[in-house]
Each structure stands twice: as C-alpha cells, then as structure tokens.
Amino acid sequence: MPFSLDGLVSTSISCVEMHTSGEPTRIILSGFPELTGTLMEQRAQAKENFDQYRRFLMLEPRGHRDMYGAILRPETELVKVGEADFGVLFMHNEGFSTMCGHATIALGRFLVDCDDEQIFPRRKLLKHDTETQTTAIKLHVPCGVVDVSVPTLSKGKSDPSRPVSFVSVPSFATGISVTIYLPKENRWPELGGRESITADFCYGGAYYCVISVSELGFPQGISEDHIQKLSHATALLKKTVNENSDLSYLTRHVQTAEQGVLYSVLIVDDTKRENVLSDSEIGLCFFANQQIDRSPTGGSVAARISLAYAKGDLLIGEQRKFDSIFTASGTGLKGFIGSAFEEVKNEGEADGSRKNTCVRVKVEGYANYMGYSTFVAEKTDGLGVNGFFI
C-alpha cells in the first residue's frame, strides 16, 4: 500500500474474492469477530451480535445488493470429532443462509490451495486420491455435512480446468403441482386476473419454489428486460407461502420435522428461446431479499434433482445440465451438472413410493479466483461498519 492508515482505522477485514459461474463469493480470511460454540451457535452469534459486519462486507459501498460471502469456521463440533474437516457460515444481503452450492464449489478450491495452517489447521489431513487426482473435503455447513471433491494438480494445488463437485445433504420434494391461492394484495399484473398459480416445492439445503415463467404470467420467457417485474412477482409469491400457516408443510423437513421458510423462488424457462442449449434447463433464482443468483444455484440443483427423482423422471446416476440466464448467454461462463447420487430411504416408504424419498445429489461446477481485498472503516467515517442498501 503506497500510504499508511496506522491509527486511522477502527476495523480491517481481509478477504479472498472468487466467483462460480459469475456468482461472487467473498471469503473472509481475518478480521471477523470471534465466534464460539457449535456451528449453529456461531451462526446465532453472528446474527445477533455481529450483523453489522455482514452489512459492512455485503452491502454498499464495499459490496452490492447481490454480494455473497463465506465466513471460515475452522473449529466446529463436527470438526472436533473428525466428522468434518472444516466449517463455514454463509451470508447474503438479508442474513445468513443454511446452504450455498456455488460458495461450496469456490471454497473447495480455496481450501485445497490454502497452505496457511492458522486459517486451515487440518489442511495436511485431507485425503488425496492419486488415481482420480482429486482431494476430498468434508465441509460442515449449517444444514449438515457436504462431501466436496476438488480436482488437483501434481503439486497438490487445485486444477481449474476440471470441475469441483459436492454431494449434498439429503434433498427431497415437499410438494408437487401445488395450487397456491394468492390474496388480492399479493397478485401481480401479469397474472391476467388469475387468483392462483401452480408450482413445485423442494429442499436442497434450503427450501425452493420451482415455477415456470409462463405460469408466472410471462409467456415471452425469462428476459433481463423483465427482471424487475419477475422480482416483484416472485417476492409476492414467497410472501404468500411464508405467511400462510396452511402451507407450512412445504417448508418442513421430511426427516426431522424442523420448520423452515421459503428461501428462494426458482423460475424455469419453459418457453422456446434462440441461442440456448436445448439439453440444458434454464433458470433464474431469486433468493433472500430478492437477490439474483448469477450461477445456476447449487442448492437449487440439488433440490431440482430431488424433485425430478420424486416425480419419477430421473434415475440414480442420471445427469442433467443447468444454466442461469447468464451462463446460457454465450459469455463463456459454465453452468452446473447435477445427478442423483444415492437414495436415502425414509420411514413409511415400504410401498415403494418416491413421494417423500430423500436423495443425495452430486453437483458439479467451476470456480475462479478474482483477487484479494482488505476493507477498512476509518474511525471518523460516519458510515462505520454499517453498509447501506438501496
């Protein structure tokens, strides 16, 4: 740095900047306040006591409404007993999420490349497969443990020419072809007088509503020209589901009965569009406070694969390609590949029904480094560590 800030700065946080198919991951290396206890206790501490640091890093002027971040947690209860190698907390424009696929892919590369024992004390304990030239990482995320596989070069560093993959926590459908009645105040103009919509609901570490763009009232398909209108419609749809107690089963875990909330609405383009790969499903994901995912959304890939499996449209081992409108636009960004990895049977399924069957899903994608950053807050800065949101 060509000048010194000694004595002027009250806060300094250092990060590594990465992106997965265009979606950013700001990985916090140092400067975030100390968190203790189990991973979920650490998440609660971050939410209750240090949310200003999330705003500092995610929102303007240091971030933007679509920034995404990862807080490294080298010590969790599962790391201590050897069930995981490392932990992480995820954050976005609204708070702290339970799962993030694109950030998991980025973190896989970062953790393999990290040779700082203070950041990653168990780096030397990672298992390397010489036959496949991959390194395995068990990553403890708020929704459980995901198995990450990172392609590596001969010197042990990650290989950016091959995709990182992870195997999800058990994923499942919670509702297929569900009719959602929309109160008058929650309807949008493009419905054309309709009072309800039909959508699917599924879980891939977080809860997703999957709906076609034509069902939302946009027969012209997904277009950047209609982003604001699509955002308005999906916000009202999410509000309807989250406020209706009769629909709470759509966001209830089929194994644990733990109640969640609808985190995201994933719009699938069911219209014919030019210059799009015909073998790929195109989607646009609105999550958190209407944040737009530039990637095909790793958690939603797990959820959508589990949905296809529940419908009987997909077998174990079968793959599907997924694109966002950005990876499908010819910019050089690569989409994701998802496949049903293994079935996890639930109680009460002796009849062979797949309705509530969980599957673990393999998700593959590419992540790249963008840079290294240190963000500061001067003592005299009225904004301090509070970002702002427009």
Query: Quick one: which of 205, 373, 166 has its CA closest to 303?
Result: 205
The C-alpha angle 114, 142, 300, rounded to 5 degrees, equals: 95
227, 361: one domain: yes
User: Is residue 2 situated within a structural domain?
Assistant: no
User: Is residue 3 situated within a structural domain?
Assistant: no
User: Is residue 229 situated within a structural domain?
Assistant: yes
What pLDDT does 347 receive?
60
Q: Tell me if 268 sits within 8 A of 282, measured CB to CB.
A: yes
User: Is residue 242 situated within a structural domain?
Assistant: yes
35, 77: one domain: yes
Q: Tell me if 280 sits within 8 A of 321, measured CB to CB.
A: yes
Query: Quick one: which of 328, 276, 305, 131 has its CA closest to 208?
Result: 305
360, 231: one domain: yes
Express as a percent the part of the chain with pLDDT over 70.
Answer: 95
Q: Tell me if 124 sits within 8 A of 156, measured CB to CB.
A: no
The SS3 of residue 253 is coil
Question: Does residue 8 surpass a pLDDT of 80?
Answer: no
196, 102: one domain: no
Q: How confident is the model at residue 279 (pLDDT cuts 50, 70, 90)?
A: confident
The C-alpha angle 18, 146, 241, rounded to 5 degrees, equals: 85
pLDDT tens digits along 151-181: 999 888 999 999 999 999 999 999 999 999 9
CA 135/CA 153 separation, integer angstroms: 10
177, 149: one domain: no
Listed in sequence order, the residues at least 6 apart from 373 whose beta carbon sits closer than 8 Å to its beta carbon are 14, 15, 16, 17, 26
Strands (E), 243-298: 262-268, 280-287, 291-292
Residue span of the structural domain in which 236 resides: 170-365
Question: Does residue 6 surpass a pLDDT of 80?
Answer: no
Domains held by the chain: number: 2
Establish whether 100 is a catalytic residue: yes
Q: Tell me if 12 sits within 8 A of 31, measured CB to CB.
A: yes
19, 136: one domain: yes
Q: Which residue has the higher pLDDT, 278 or 72?
A: 72
Q: Tell me if 322 sits within 8 A of 337, measured CB to CB.
A: yes
Q: Choose, from 100, 143, 202, 358, the residue flagged as catalytic.
A: 100
User: Is residue 1 situated within a structural domain?
Assistant: no
What pLDDT does 386 receive?
87
What pLDDT does 389 receive?
87
pTM of the predicted structure, to 2 decimals? 0.95
User: Is residue 4 situated within a structural domain?
Assistant: no
What pLDDT does 276 receive?
47
Pairing mode, strands 164-167 and 291-292: unpaired
205, 99: one domain: no
Q: Which amino acid is located at 117 in the chain?
A: E
Q: Residue for token digits 């080298």? A: 74
Which of 93-107, 279-293, 322-336, 343-357 has the least mean pLDDT? Answer: 343-357
Task: Answer whether the bond into residue 61 is a cis peptide, omega within 30°.
Answer: yes
273, 188: one domain: yes
321, 374: one domain: no
26, 118: one domain: yes
228, 357: one domain: yes
pLDDT tens digits along 114-125: 999 999 999 999
154, 303: one domain: no
Question: Does residue 355 surpass a pLDDT of 80?
Answer: no
User: Is residue 390 situated within a structural domain?
Assistant: no
Question: Does residue 46 surpass a pLDDT of 50?
Answer: yes
Please count the residues of the chain.
390
For position 53, which CATH number holds? 3.10.310.10
User: Is residue 214 situated within a structural domain?
Assistant: yes
pLDDT tens digits along 81-93: 999 999 999 999 9
Q: Tell me if 301 sits within 8 A of 295, measured CB to CB.
A: no
Question: Does residue 142 surpass a pLDDT of 80?
Answer: yes
CA 238/CA 163 separation, integer angstroms: 32
